[in-house]
Amino acid sequence: MKKYLIFLVLILSHFSIHAEGVKLSCLPTEAACLNCPDYQTLFPIEKFSTNNDSLDIEADQSELLEGKYLLNGNVVVNSTKLYLAADDVEVSSVDNSLIATGNVRFQDEAYLITGDLLSATRDKDENLIATATNANYQDFGAGMGGANGYTESISKTSTSVLLKNSTYSLCPINENDWLIDADQIELNLVKNRGIADNAIVKFYGIPIFYLPKYSWVLSGRGSGFLTPDYSSYSEPGQTDNSYSVRVPYYFNLAPDRDLLIALTYMSSRRFIYEGKYRQLIAPKISPDHKESIWSIETKYLPEDKITNLKRWLVNFSEEIDLSDKTHLSAQYYRVSDSDYFKDIARTNTDEKTLKSHIKLSYLNDVSKLSAFILTEDEQVVNSGVPIYTRALEASISKTLTPVRATPVKLDLISTKFAHDTPGKVSGLRTHGNLGISRQLNIKYPKITPKSSIAITNYSLKNSPNINRTIVGAGLDIDFTIINPSSMFGFKVNHRITPLITYNYRAKKVQGNIPIFDSTDKYDDIITFADLTSGERYTGLDRITNANDITLSLESSYRAIDSIGTDRDLLSLKVAQSFFTDDEVVSDTVNSNYETRKSYSDIAASIDIALGKYIISSIAQYSPNKSKIVKKENSLTYTTNSRKFISLSSSDEGAKKTEKLYAAYPLSDSIHFFGGLDKTTSTGVTNSEITGLAYESCCWAFRMAHFKEDNTSGGYNYSTGMELVLTGLGSTSSPLKGKIENSIPGYAAKLR
């Protein structure tokens, strides 16, 4: 019972801040506010007078007595800045004050007030001061999300509003699902803060929290508590569930910087201290250049109750433009140990390595010169294994275009590879490439010959140096035809591209070359892009020999809408390569070649984008087996981030996977969401999430349950929840990120 009491206290302690853009106000442009009632005001908003010289006054009776104007019966006083209606109004010409009684309705540029008695006067600066008793008020100037409530006394000036024995709510009029009941509430319009004395937060009429002094931001972003996060989870080998409570506090330091600190208590691990600082850096060269940002996040557990170890996380990142052509990118990402995400964070459990890097890049589009220098390191986490990293890499690329001459592209890249495993080959790889291509002066078909020479040097540690030179040539014959047409009621351009590509590259022994960063594109499904790229391997450690012809056909129907945006309604692609050599360079270390058929499998795909539906299918067909050996299919229907379904299946021969993601509104206020990632060939559920959310104009709640494969023959289970009250609480909980990572397309943002 104790842990539930702790959770109740903490979940309610956050109602003091609106930050990070999470606002539950009902705006006319927000589809999510269909669950809100029609916007209501205390009384119909009146138009102010256009007469700048005097007041517009209406009354059944009027009388002048000793410097006072006595107005009786259906009195209306209207000026350029206020409107007042009452049964009786007394106006003093001596001190420019007035007193209104009976069915009072008062309106200025921001507030509506109704009550039994209202008095108004002006201070020495001619600013209006209005005071009412037993009144209802509404901040209609803030729009549909403006505050409203009842007060025994309200005193309003141009800079503040003082309420005595008052309620305060950001729910619609007469539908105060939650409210603040306080002895006194001061709304400081200059400082944008609300301060309540002896405040009780009531939810559906039930007192749920008390604070002797309570402060919140009236609008926009400000410092204060954010929504706490609560979740339950299971520790391996323990029968009882554990729980976690996270209480964040947000500092709005400046318009371009902020700080988030948080305290998390894990019942099985103890307390975790967290901080995250962010800062925007304005463009230094021109206003058209993008803003830069840098941030640092730290988490620290002084002593894990289970392992007795210190557990921590540090994540620093920076993206900054040093000039309009130079960019600096940096990241330092480290955790205390490889099991940190599984034991402490309980997110990112599918990550294999954490990369840290520093990269300085230069790009000049005019001179067609680009260059960069990079260094990186990695940390193995979860069930990952060490891989090669670029201890240092430098690259430069330049395209030379002499007048009336063939463009020449020069590329040079040098990389020093390192590995954490002792005995692994390491060293420096330097690769240069010179390429020439130019379209012949023939209108149809388009014929583009090309040639290249690539020189690679491996300076290896404790091994002999290796040099490799490979000459290549090729020819593209493009028979593209574009015809106007129509499809599905749209005007389209039908583009048909039959393409014949011939590639030649010298056959070179490469089995003695280590593999630092090369992978075989054919290991999974062979795609249209794989065949038409002309290169089987990624990276530079293997360059395939070629004396091949690739035939490809691409047909697309591209619609052009009224604003000139192009989009493909239908796209069909098919390609196949034919090889004159029955041997191909192998990516197995110490093996030079492997045999292959004289033709590749056929790669085909179809993509349809029609309205809210997107259908995609990729297939790899084996002519030798006369069947489809690998395939990927997906279907997506999307109306918005609260209503969509996405289905996909993948068959790689030995491994079959199916994924389902969806969100569906049960009503204007309630929607559910879920996701399933399952390897059907083994029956293992990689991840599963189910959840339900309620959203209204003035509060929202969400709960989600997670099931994840722990790679040890079992599953990890956890449940999280969050509550937001509009204008008083925002969310920065890990639950948001965890849901969005688990369900692509779902906006895990309570609105």
Which amino acid, one-letter code, is at 456? T
Burial of 237 (0-12, 13-18, 19+ CB in 10 A): exposed
Overall average pLDDT of the 242-263 stretch: 87
Q: How far apart are CA 650 and CA 645, in angstroms?
A: 17
Tell me the pLDDT band of 11, cut-offs 50, 70 and 90: very low
Confidence at residue 16, expressed as pLDDT on a 0 to 100 scale? 38
First-last CA distance in the chain: 32
Do 632 and 617 touch, CB atoms closer than 8 A?
yes
670-679 vs 656-665, strand pairing mode: antiparallel
422 preceded by a cis bond (ω within 30 of 0) = no
Q: How far apart are CA 299 and CA 348, in angstroms?
A: 15
Please write the tens of the pLDDT for every residue from 299-314. Answer: 999 999 999 999 999 9
What value does the mean pLDDT of the chain take? Answer: 85
| pTM, two decimal places | 0.76
Confidence at residue 32, expressed as pLDDT on a 0 to 100 scale? 37
Please write the tens of the pLDDT for every residue from 167-206. Answer: 998 888 878 888 889 999 998 888 888 889 999 988 888 8
Residue 367's Cα: distance from chain center in Å? Answer: 35
Confidence at residue 474, expressed as pLDDT on a 0 to 100 scale? 95
Given a cut of 60, is residue 435 above it in pLDDT? yes
Q: How far apart are CA 377 and CA 420, in angstroms?
A: 10
DSSP class of residue 696 equals: -
Given a cut of 70, is residue 230 above it in pLDDT? yes
Q: How far apart are CA 584 and CA 602, in angstroms?
A: 18
Residue 373's Cα: distance from chain center in Å? Answer: 29
Angle at 672 between CA 666 and CA 673, to 5 degrees: 145
Q: What DSSP line would sit under 126-169, residue for residue?
A: --EEEEEEEEEEE-GGGGGG--EEEEEEEEE-SSEEEEEEEEEB
Share of the chain above pLDDT 90, in %: 49
Q: Which of 157-166, 219-228, 427-436 has the lowest mean pLDDT?
A: 219-228
Give the helix/strand (H/E) hosting 274. strand 270-281
Tell me the pLDDT band of 691, cut-offs 50, 70 and 90: very high
Confidence at residue 145, expressed as pLDDT on a 0 to 100 scale? 66
Given a cut of 50, is residue 464 above it in pLDDT? yes
Q: How far apart are CA 410 and CA 433, in angstroms?
A: 6
Given a cut of 50, is residue 22 above it in pLDDT? no
Q: How far apart are CA 70 and CA 93, in angstroms?
A: 11
Please write the tens of the pLDDT for every residue from 552-581. Answer: 999 999 887 644 456 788 999 999 999 999
| Residue 690, token pair as written in the block | 């189910």
- In sign, the C-alpha dihedral spanning 734, 735, 741, 747 is negative
Q: Which of 220-224, 408-412, 413-417, 448-452 has the lowest mean pLDDT?
A: 220-224
Confidence at residue 652, expressed as pLDDT on a 0 to 100 scale? 87
Q: How far apart are CA 276 and CA 200, in angstroms?
A: 31
Q: Please, which residues have CB within 8 angstroms of residue 542's CB and are 6 or more apart in sequence?
A: 510, 513, 515, 518, 536, 585, 586, 587
